[in-house]
Amino acid sequence: MILSKILCSICLVLCVTVASLNAQSVPGDTNRTTFWAFEATIARGFFLHSPGAADVLGYDSSDRKPVGDYTMRYGTSFEVLRNSYAYKTAPQTDFDSSDEFRLSASRKILPWLHLGLDAEHVSYRIANMHMNVRQYTNPYNQFNILTFGVISFPTLRDAAVNGELLDPILLHNGWPINTITAGTHVAFHFSEGNIDPFLKVTVAVGKDLYRPLSTFEYGASGGLRVFISERVFVTTEAGIRLVQFNGHAGGRTVSALLREPSFRAGAGFTR
């Protein structure tokens, strides 16, 4: 929510700036002699049906049992059907969106060609995460003491069976994956004036801060830099990138490819 408000504010500033530049010429609207540019940007990314989130989190996979172990062993026929239906109809765990903060430095090689380095932090929002109730009621856990109680006391049997039903029902959203990436980009600029459209190609590698996961990213975007003074500019861009997750989670090898459209805005300066 806060990020969305910031993006809207930056867009408003950009629109006002572009309008003022169109209304009057800004002094110094000539070829620039500066070679370096530094900028800070924030972005919001979106994902359209990216089921790889379950595997990346490590608690869900294609071989997930449709019914819990306690329900299969001690549940009635109705409870087995009830729990099975709950698992089959539960919403799928998906990547929902991402919040990104990037610092960039670029060098002008030719008037139309810039090369740069990027450092970025990305937080991934995942929707419909399971509570993992079954990991606390699994009779095959080495130190689980409920198995004896389930056999001996019907109340515990009911609690264990109903507890497994909570797994597909108690879903929540969160930001469990946070990555730090380092990368490079090539930007093609079409003007050296106050309004500077550009195309950019990026490549980056990264690592999750809390999980044994690595990322490889590449993408393309188009945008606009608008100089509000001789050296200070605001920028906005839209693009798409592909993010490949690799590593281990939940005792399994993880490999998931995400397609992420995003909108980015920020500000910077040249020297």
Q: Binning pLDDT at 50, 70 and 90, where does residue 252 land?
A: confident
What is the structure's pLDDT at 131?
66
pLDDT at 3 over 90: no
Provide, rounded to the nearest whole percent, the portion of the chain with pLDDT above 90.
41
pLDDT at 74 over 90: no
What is the structure's pLDDT at 84?
84
Q: Binning pLDDT at 50, 70 and 90, where does residue 29 land?
A: very low
pTM of the predicted model as reported, rounded to 2 decimal places: 0.75
* Residue closest to 60 by CA, chosen among 207, 252, 214: 252
Q: Binning pLDDT at 50, 70 and 90, where does residue 85 land?
A: confident
Q: At residue 128, what is the residue type? A: N
Domain boundaries, the chain: 2-61+92-129+175-270
Q: What is the pLDDT of residues 119-164, one digit of tens each?
A: 999 999 988 887 655 444 444 443 344 454 445 556 777 777 777 7
More confident residue, 172 or 28: 172
Are the beta carbons of 270 and 53 closer than 8 angstroms?
no
CA neighbours closer than 13 Å in the CB half-sphere of residue 133: 20
Most confident of 16-20, 89-93, 174-178, 254-258: 174-178
- The fold for domain 2-61+92-129+175-270 equals Porin (2.40.160)
Average confidence score pLDDT of the chain? 79
What is the structure's pLDDT at 127?
85
Q: What is the pLDDT of residues 205-232, one digit of tens each?
A: 999 998 899 999 999 999 999 999 999 9
Q: Give the bridge partners for 39, in sequence order.
A: 104, 268
What is the structure's pLDDT at 16?
46
Lowest-pLDDT choice from 80-84, 136-140, 185-189? 136-140
